[in-house]
Chains A and B, each alone.
Chain A
C-alpha cells in the first residue's frame, strides 16, 4: 500500500479524498445514520486515550510483579483487563515473552490486525506492504530496517495475526533497573518493543 504520509506530496489527490469524506459525512449525518458527537468521541479516544502508554503499563507491571507476569503469560486477556484495558481489537490477547534465546515479532500479513486496547491504532509502517511482505520471510532484514541486530543464535518467532487473536510482546527487562517503580519502568517500554521490531530503552536513554 502507498504510504499515508506521502500524501502531502499529492495535494490534488488529497483534496479529492478530503472532499469525498466531507460529502460522505454530510450524507450520513443528514440521513441520521451517524451522530457527529460520536465521531468526535471515537477520534478523541484513539488520539488521546488509547495508545502504547497502556501497553507500557502492562509490561512494567509484568516486570515488577511475578504473579501478574504469570497471569499475563497464562491468559493475557483477563490479566490486561485487570489493569483496565479491554475491548475492540483486543478481545482475545496472547502475551509473548522475549528471552535471551527467543525474540518474538508480530505482523498481520493480510491486513492490519493489532491489539488496539494496549497499543492504540497501528503506525503506517505496520500496515504497509514492506512490513507485511518482509516480516515473515526476512525478519532479520526488518529488524535491520529498525536498527536492531540480534545474535545469530537467537531464535526469531513471527506471529502472523490471521484470526482475531491479538499478540503483545513482553520485552526483556533492561539491566540496571532493579528497584525501579512501575511508573519509571514504563518509561523504558517503547511501542516497537511490544510489537517486536524494537527493544526497550536502557536506563541511560531516559536519564
Chain B
C-alpha cells in the first residue's frame, strides 16, 4: 500500500538524531509490548507479512505520529481482534470477558532460546527457473497494490541491474493476505542515484532493493 510506512525519498522529516548511549528500551511498557508481540506469534498463527501489514495499514498521519512500539502494539491488537483472540472491550476492561479461544500452541519459557535460534527462514525449494541473471537490466513495475507489498515507491518505473540472485523466497504480497507462501525468485536490484533522483542526484550513490520477480519486467 502507498501508506505512511513507504518513506524512502520523502522530505521534511528533519535530520537523523542519534541518541548517545541509547538503552535497548526506553520504558518498561516497551519491553512488555515487544515481548508480547513476539510471544503471541505462536498462539496467533499469523506470519511476519501479516504483522507488517497490520502495522502499516492505518492513516499516514496516525502512523507518523505514533512511536515504534505504539505501532507494534496497535498492530498486535488488530491481529488479535481480527481472529477473535482478544476484543478491544477486553483490553479496555483489563480482564477476559469471554472464554479463551483454543490456540494451536503457546511459547513456553523453555522454548524461547530454541525458537529464536531457529527463526523463520523464507527461502524455499523450487523447480522454476529464475527469469533473470546477474547483469540483466530490469524495470521495477509501476504498480500500486492497495494491500501489502515490498516494492518501495521510489524505485517504481525505474531501470536497474540485477546484482544478486537470492533464491526463491516467500512472497509477501500473497503471504500477507493469507493466500499462501507463493514463493518467487528474489533479486538484489541496483539503481544509479541519478536514475532514481534525477539530474540533481548524487552521482557517487547507488541504491539497491531486494525485489521479487513479479515486481520486475525486462528492460
Cβ–Cβ contact B204 & A155, under 8 A? yes
Contacting residue for B106 out of A34, A139, A145, A197, CB 8 A: A34
- Within 8 Å by CB of B68, from A18, A35, A127, lies A127
CA distance A144 to B135 in the complex (A): 33
Type the 1/0 row for B129-158, where 1 means its CB is closer than 8 Å to any CB of A. 000000000000000000000111010000
Instruction: Return chain A residues, CB-CB under 8 Å to B172.
Output: 163
Q: Report the separation of the CA atoms of residues A148 and B91 in the bound assembly, to the nearest whole angstrom.
A: 46
Cα of A92 to Cα of B69 in the assembled complex, Å: 25
Asked whether, in the complex, the Cβ of A39 is within 8 Å of the Cβ of B55, the reply is no
Q: How many whole Å from B154's CB to the nearest CB in chain A?
A: 6
Q: Give the contacting residue for A124; candidates B68, B73, B188; CB below 8 A.
A: B68
Chain A hits for B151, CB < 8 A: 162
Q: Does B64 contact A (CB under 8 A)?
A: yes
**A90 and B5: CB pair below 8 A?**
no
Contact with B along A75-96 (1 / 0, CB 8 A): 0000000000011111110100
A150-164 Cβ-contact flags toward B at 8 Å (1 or 0): 001111111111111
**A87 shortest CB reach to chain B, Å:** 4
User: Given the complex, which residues of A lie within 8 Å of B82, measured CB to CB?
Assistant: none
B210 contacts A137, C-beta separation under 8 Å: no
**Would you give the 0/1 interface string for B181-217, flagging 1 where the beta carbon is closer than 8 Å to chain A?**
0000010101000001100011011111111100000
Q: A17-B73, A32-B106, A139-B205 are in contact. Are A1 and B68 (CB under 8 A)?
A: yes
Question: Contacts A92-B121, A111-B52, A162-B150 known; A46 to B64 CB distance under 8 Å?
Answer: no
B121 / chain A contacts, CB cutoff of 8 Å: 91-92, 164
- CB atoms of B206 and A37 under 8 A apart: no
Residue of A46, A153, A163 with most partner-chain B CB within 10 A:
A163
Contact between A145 and B107 (Cβ–Cβ < 8 Å)? no
List the A side residues contacting B71 at CB < 8 Å: 1
Q: Closest residue of chain B to A51, judged by CB? A: B24
Structural contact, B36 and A136, CB atoms closer than 8 A: no
Which residues of B1-20 have CB atoms within 8 Å of chain A's CB atoms?
Answer: 5-11, 13-19
List residues of chain B with CB within 8 A of the CB of A39. 32, 35-36, 39
Bound CA span A120–B39, Å: 17
Known: A130-B13, A192-B18. A30 touches B91 (CB 8 A): no
Binds B, one of A21-29, A54-62, A170-178: A21-29
What mask results when residues 89 to 125 of chain B are scored 1 for a CB within 8 Å of chain A, else 0? 0111111100010010011110111011111111100
Contact assessment for A37 and B16 in the assembled complex, using a CB-CB cutoff below 8 Å: no
A68 proximal to B (CB < 8 A):
no
B residues near A3, Cβ cutoff 8 Å = 17, 67
Complex: how many Å from CA A165 to CA B170?
12
Contact A88 B116 (CB under 8 A): yes
3 smallest beta-carbon distances between A and B, as pairs: A109-B8, A163-B210, A23-B94
Please give the residue numbers on chain B whose beta carbons come within 8 Å of chain A beta carbons, in ascending order: 5-11, 13-19, 22, 24-36, 38-40, 43, 48, 52, 55-56, 63-71, 73, 76-77, 85-86, 90-96, 100, 103, 106-109, 111-113, 115-123, 150-152, 154, 164, 166-167, 169-170, 172, 186, 188, 190, 196-197, 201-202, 204-212
User: Measuring CB to CB, which residues of chain A are less than 8 angstroms from any residue of chain B?
Assistant: 1-7, 14, 17-18, 20-28, 30-35, 37-43, 45-47, 51, 86-92, 94, 109-112, 120-121, 123-125, 127-142, 145-146, 152-165, 192, 197
Known A-B contacts: A159-B208, A192-B18. Give 14 more (CB < 8 A). A4-B27, A5-B26, A17-B70, A18-B27, A27-B91, A38-B112, A46-B24, A90-B119, A91-B120, A136-B196, A139-B205, A163-B210, A164-B121, A164-B170
